[in-house]
Structure 1
Amino acid sequence: MSSFSGSCSLDTIQQDMERLSQGTRRLAVQLRLGLEPDFLWSVLTDYANLSRFIPNLASSRQLWRRGNRVCLEQVGTQQFCGMRFTAKVELELEEDREAGELRFAMNRGDFRRFEGMWRIHHDGSITSLLYELIVQGRPGMPIGLIEQRLRDDLANNLRGVQLEAMRRAGLA
């Protein structure tokens, strides 16, 4: 894993990417910070406002909720090699507040596979936020060319969640 210096002195981002078969990538990004887990959970489950603080997420809309299961429609967008790339997904999420996990899988969308999990773990004064994603592009989607972009975007997404959680905690 490689570490990236962050915008706040208390946090550390670690990142890992694994190349799987058929153009599939497994990415994991972890952020460690001195913040209560409830602030992170409130940000991650603020589905209607995710696009306000997660970079490159153009929209996020809750389609339905059934107990701890939620269905979202999300549209992501980014600039890559001078072109605008947009991807739309319908995700089904399962909230497990007690375990600090928010698992998701794509029902339909612009990828062959898009699934993963957010996990919040509190240990003493440090809270870790882990984001794991398994993504497989459609045929013709140059996943190899956008690997670095994926890495940058995931780190930026965690920074966006962090900054919003700090704002809600009165620290930013």
Structure 2
Amino acid sequence: MPKRGAAQVRAGATSVRSMILGETPVIEATGINSRRISASIVIARPPEDVWRILTDYDNLAQHVPNLVVSKRLEHPGGGPKIRLFQEGAQKIWGFDFSASLVMDMEEFFGPEQERRRLQRKIRFKLVESMMLARFDGEWAIQPHSRHLAQPTRAAIEAAAARGEPPLKPITQYSTKLIYSVNVTPRGMVPVPAIEWRVREDVPVNLRAVKAAVERLPLRPVEELLAEEEALYTSRLP
């Protein structure tokens, strides 16, 4: 029987990628002891702001409630490669449980002509864990919508009181953030326990990231474009 709060996909059935994802995780059985878990959320900010929060690796624990530690480690390969240590504290079936892992992160950008309407992803791959044999996946950041927003009456009055020029409409963006992970527990760790924990955590984490991004101040389009150009240029070989 399907678990409440999660859509189930049989191994060999229609791929989860072709389904409409939302905050409720979609769980795909990829093997006897393996699962693929995916979910998404819409954030009322441009991709640049979502990227800013997700790549602030040393401060992720401030935004994600079940994450106790998140910090960058020196990568043995050197260069721009990113190695990340994370430790979480949760309850599994009523028991206090903490687990740590080390992951390698890869920041991916699409071709130059597409970089503003984006193929932008953060891929992660497990390096070390006592509990997991596999924990690989990605955060995918996709433009969702764009519209002109009129300034509020309060903002107009505040600007006038400061003697500032009349406020103009600003372009507002929204972004779809998609999270997917392939999980295989190690040794005798039962997959239902890991599946349940990840399934419970994913919506909480997505909403926490959304809240953190939407707390950022709105920025003009010109600033977003300049930031995007600088970021892309810095990644050129």
Identity of aligned residues (%): 30
The one-letter amino acid of 2:205's match is N
Give 1:82 deviation, angstroms.
2.3
8 Å CA contact retained: 1:43, 1:161: yes
Secondary structure in structure 2 of the residue aligned to 1:59: strand
Q: Say if 2:130 is the partner of 1:118.
A: no
The alignment's C-alpha RMSD in Å is 1.9
CA contact (8 A) 1:59 1:74 kept: yes
Match runs of 1:7-156 below 5 Å: 13-64=23-74, 66-97=78-109, 98=115, 99-110=119-130, 111-125=132-146, 126-156=174-204
Structure richer in helix, relative to its length: 2
User: Secondary structure of the residue that 2:212 maps to in structure 1?
Assistant: helix
Cα displacement (A) at 1:123: 3.4
The alignment partner of 2:192 has SS state of coil
Which ranges in structure 1 are unaligned for 5 or more consecutive residues? 3-11
TM-superposed deviation, 1:142: 1.9
Structure 2 CA distance for partners of 1:73 and 1:145, relative to 1, 3 Å: closer
Pick from 198, 214, 217 the counterpart of residue 169 of structure 1: 217
> For the residues of structure 1 that align with 2:42 and 2:144, how far apart are their CA atoms?
10
Q: Calculate the TM-score normalised by the size of structure 1.
A: 0.85
Name the CA distance, whole Å, in 2 between partners of 1:149 and 1:103. Answer: 21
Structure in which a larger fraction of residues adopt strand: 1
Gaps of 5+ in 2: 1-5, 8-21, 110-114, 147-173, 219-237
Offset of residue 68 of structure 1: 4.5
TM-aligned CA deviation for residue 100 of structure 1: 1.2
Q: Distance in 1 between matches of 2:213 and 2:34?
A: 31
Secondary structure at the residue paired with 1:134?
strand
Distance 1:14 1:68, change over 3 A: farther
Q: 1:120·1:128 contact (CA, 8 Å) conserved in 2?
A: yes
Which TM-score applies when normalising by structure 2? 0.63
1:67 & 1:39 partners in 2: Cα distance?
25
Helix, strand or coil at the partner of 1:54: coil
The question of whether the paired residues in 1 share the 8 Å contact of 2:25 and 2:39 is answered with yes
Mapped to 2, the partners of 1:69 and 1:92 lie a distance apart of 8
Secondary structure, aligned partner of 1:40: helix
Residue-pair matches, total: 161
Indicate the structure (1 or 2) with the bigger Cα radius of gyration: 2
